[in-house]
Amino acid sequence: MTELSNRTKFWQSQDAEHHLHPFTAHPGLRERGVRMITGAKGVYLEDSEGQKILDGMAGLWCAQIGYGNEEMVQAAAEAMRGLSYYNLFFMTSNPYATELAAKIAEKTPGHINQVLFACSGSEAVDSAYKLVKYYWNLKGQPNRKQFIARERAYHGSTTVAASLSGLTGMHPQFDLPIEGIHHVGPTPHHYKFGGDLSEEEFCDQCVQAVEDKILEIGPENVAAFVGEPVMGAGGMMPPPEGYWPRIEALCRKYGILLWCDEVITGWGRTGEWFGSTYYGIQPDIITMAKGLSSGYQPISAVAMGGDIAHEIAKSDEEMVHGFTYSGHPVACAVALKNIEIMEREGLVGTDEAKARIAYFREKLETLSDHPLVGQIRTVGLLGGIELVKNKETKELFPDELDVGFKCREHCFNNGLVMRHVGNSMILCPPLIITNDEIDELVEKARLALDLTAKEIGVM
């Protein structure tokens, strides 16, 4: 290990003195020293020691068009110069917010046609939760206040969003979840939770569990079912074949709103503009963030369709919800430019985009011969690599070995960001990644797998 530069050491000590990091255990971080990311261009990050790192996670699942795009810089500068800020509260709007709302209505599936802006995925989730309650109050069914979510779901970290999340580790520190939220298991992902069942039988079991929960609560009390089309932060877990249309049918049968949390799966990640389209369903509500602006600005939205949009929009009373920065002109201008770039560059749904997704899948699958790899899974440009001790029985390494963390560290030290959730290694590269960069990504992933296997004595 070479000696760190003085500026890196200075930042590390400042950070250790004053900075609390999200989702981090601080003693370990402070002992080892934070890694400073000082720049980014295309699919690469650069740290304060000048190391170039291929970002296989698009930041936190968000940098669809990659980093450092000059057109985005211009769009932000132009908006900031012309209208650095104004709010939407006083019967006012701005061209960027208005045009972006229309653009979102155009891109979202089917009847979605009303949009409320917020700043983060969690804020969008909290807003959707409140709007669903408001809708049922307007409809004269105030009893419908129970929400069904899934075990191992991730919906964000504000109070409501963390409560809807089914990652139980997120709850005890903050006395969560709040009341009225029900997490259904099994987690709908066959490889990890299907046991001896076929995929079809497992799908039956998952759907039945949702219906049982609806009947247990009483259908007349259920407000909405919420789910990520592909579970992301829980470990990149696609659902069993046929799951989503059957969940949609259940929602329709019992008059329950279907809410897709597309903070990760929205904006081209699955190969369609939205994950709900990928799975052929028509949600009543979509929450979105991340890829909406490719992370260039913090912006999110709740998009609503059909009756819910109609009821809220036609109500004479003031809707007493919103944020200072809802529809921030600079954020909206940047999001509009981001969508324009995705359309112009053909990043979603074109032959070129489909070929990129096919290449990503094909190259990632070459890793399945590795002794640590139990399964490779992809949906669009989302990838998961499951680390197992025994490929046949799917037996996992003991938790103490922290094999996923070891693999992540070997990646980072060798110029690749790959995230881990337990034993699942996760990839979510920018949509602009080239075939050469995919080759580099897979090469570096194999090196990290080899180093991990050697470290734990498997190779």
Which residues here bind ligand PLP, judged by CB under 6 A? Answer: 120-122, 125, 154-156, 228, 232-233, 261, 263-264, 289
Minimum distance between the CB of residue 454 and ligand PLP, rounded to whole angstroms? 32
Task: Output 380 or 415, the one with its CB closest to ligand PLP.
Answer: 380
Residue type, 295: G
Minimum distance between the CB of residue 275 and ligand PLP, rounded to whole angstroms? 10
Minimum distance between the CB of residue 290 and ligand PLP, rounded to whole angstroms? 7
Minimum distance between the CB of residue 335 and ligand PLP, rounded to whole angstroms? 14
> Would you say how long the chain is, in residues?
459
Burial 200-219 (b: 16+ CB within 10 A, else e): eebbbbbbebbbebbeebee
119 in Cβ contact with 323 (< 8 Å): yes
- How many whole angstroms separate alpha carbon 419 and alpha carbon 448? 12
Helix (H, G, I), strand (E, B) or coil at 306: helix
Strands 416-417 and 222-227: unpaired
- Residue 416 DSSP symbol: E
Task: Output 57 or 347, the one with its CB closest to ligand PLP.
Answer: 57
Task: Output 184 or 263, the one with its CB closest to ligand PLP.
Answer: 263
**18, exposed or middle or buried, with CB in 10 Å at 0-12, 13-18, 19+?**
exposed
Task: Output 228 or 440, the one with its CB closest to ligand PLP.
Answer: 228
Task: Output 100 or 396, the one with its CB closest to ligand PLP.
Answer: 100
Tokens of 326: 């809802």
Handedness of CA 342, 344, 349, 352 (dihedral sign): negative
Closest residue to ligand PLP, judged by C-beta, is: 121
Task: Output 233 or 426, the one with its CB closest to ligand PLP.
Answer: 233
